[in-house]
Amino acid sequence: MAQPGSLVIADATRQQIGGLFALENLGLQPLAGFAEQQRAWRVTGDSGVVSRFEALRSEATPLVGRDEELDLLQLRWHQAKAGEGRVVLISGEPGIGKSRLIAALSKRIEGDPYIRLPFFCSPYHQDSALYPLIAQLERAAGFAREDTIEDKLGKLRELLAPGSRGEDEVELLAELLSLPNSAADLNLSPQR
């Protein structure tokens, strides 16, 4: 069975959470209140999947009735690639298919060279307007829970090394990532 203090979930719960968490299959277990043994899973941690949409969806279902929107997105993509600046805002109520539309566009343009930087808001981080940027920087640098502050600063320096103009950038981003540093000693103007 699971270790003391660990979270164990039923198979039905595992199906509901998709790929949001890393799980260990504990096999069939005798549980109180059930005549037959039940499959159990131990939650071992966060799976590291960035997108809730990707973590929770099963095989992609065909996109139905969205050809016009998808064609418009693809047109804007081609215009942007041709050097015409374009911004597209996709908004709407939860569950109407915004993420599914983006997934379909990504599939259409998968042969094109581009860099995708997904940013996701979270109801748990409403007090931090920069949370999506902070989370992206932590993922890009490869921060792990067990990393020390020195490890994280080293990974941040490595991430910034190719285009860095100096230690000032590392110090400022370390401040954003809540890593102890000497950014206060930089004595920079608010504009800088």
Higher pLDDT pick, 49 / 119 = 119
Domain count, the chain: 3
In-domain check, residue 115: no
In-domain check, residue 172: yes
Q: Are residues 44 and 78 in the same domain?
A: no
Contact 26, 6 (CB under 8 A): no
Residue 143 is predicted with a pLDDT of 93
pTM of the model as a whole: 0.53
Which residue range forms the structural domain that includes residue 35? 7-56
Residue 114 is predicted with a pLDDT of 84
The per-residue pLDDT for range 155-185, each reduced to its tens digit, is 999 998 877 666 778 888 888 898 886 555 6
Residue 186 is predicted with a pLDDT of 62
In-domain check, residue 116: no
Q: Are residues 127 and 181 in the same domain?
A: yes
Residue 109 is predicted with a pLDDT of 92
Q: Are residues 134 and 178 in the same domain?
A: yes
Residue 149 is predicted with a pLDDT of 92
For 34-52, what is the mean pLDDT? 79
In-domain check, residue 42: yes
Which of the four pLDDT bands, split at 50, 70 and 90, describes residue 151? very high
Residue 51 is predicted with a pLDDT of 61
Q: Are residues 131 and 176 in the same domain?
A: yes
Weakest-pLDDT range from 2-6, 32-36, 83-87, 148-152: 2-6
| Two tokens, residue 19 | 């790929």
Q: Are residues 140 and 182 in the same domain?
A: yes
Ordered strands of the 38-46 beta sheet: 7-10, 38-46, 21-29
For 36-42, what is the mean pLDDT? 90
